[in-house]
Amino acid sequence: MLSYCEIREHLGLSKPRVCQLAKLGMPVHSLASAERWRQTNTVSRAPTNGKPKRIAPKKTRLHRQRKHANLQFTGDSLLDALNASIYVREAAFNLVQEAMNAGDIPAISPLISIHTHSLMLYFKAESAYRAELERRGVLVNKHEITEHCRKMLDAVLKRLKRLPHESGPQCNPGEPLMAFTILQRAVEDVIAVGRSALQGL
């Protein structure tokens, strides 16, 4: 087995870094094996002992070509900013996932910070966009919608409840009481169905 000092000198790393990589599975019986493992399992770092060392770029998921849907610009600056923030948020999340899947421990923490920052930017963009839609009158306040619906339903119910009295005699002049009874039941059934639908919401 090689000493950590030999590996440190060969790879241009600090001793704590060598210990960390060994715990992650880096071979310590051969300099060549240690170097090959580091090239394929860790992100390259600058040498800590002042000795520059060329290391082939690591080929992991973090370096593969990614396919993302192109951003479509609408001309609405706030909407475009919101779409861009969503795009960045999703890309940052994908990077975090790839680093975790690859076991790239040194990269995970900074990528999580980037993702957190992208989330904050997204929340700000969404808040600004919603505020602008409300200002334009595109979004209607929930309480306003509820009040409009209540007024409309009250008017419909009042008219519906008068229907048996007003239309019963016209439907069956010979037996207006029978017509009234039939219409009254029909109205009550309609109201019952409406109440049932509201309770299911």
Average pLDDT over residues 79-91: 90
Q: What is the pLDDT of residues 4-55, one digit of tens each?
A: 778 778 778 787 787 788 878 888 877 887 788 777 775 444 445 555 444 4
Given this model, what pLDDT does residue 119 score? Answer: 92
User: Over pLDDT 70: what percentage of the chain?
Assistant: 81
Please report the pLDDT score of residue 95 as a whole number. Answer: 92
Q: How far apart are CA 34 and CA 18, in angstroms?
A: 10
The per-residue pLDDT for 113 is: 93
Q: What percent of the chain has pLDDT over 90?
A: 19
- Residue 16's pLDDT is what? 79
Confidence category of residue 64, pLDDT binned at 50, 70, 90? very low
Distance, CA of 14 to CA of 2 (rounded, Å): 15
Higher pLDDT, 127 or 5: 127
Average pLDDT over residues 119-144: 81
Question: What pLDDT score was predicted for residue 30?
Answer: 79
141 band by pLDDT with thresholds 50, 70 and 90: low
User: Does residue 35 come out as left (phi exceeding 0), alpha (psi in the -120 to 50 range) or beta?
Assistant: alpha
Q: How many CB atoms lie within 10 A of CB 187?
A: 16
Would you kindly state where each structural domain of the chain is located, as residue ranges? Answer: 4-59, 71-136, 142-199
Count of alpha carbons within 13 Å of 139, Cβ hemisphere only?
10
Residue 13 buriedness (CB in 10 A; 0-12 / 13-18 / 19+): buried
pLDDT of amino acid 124? 92
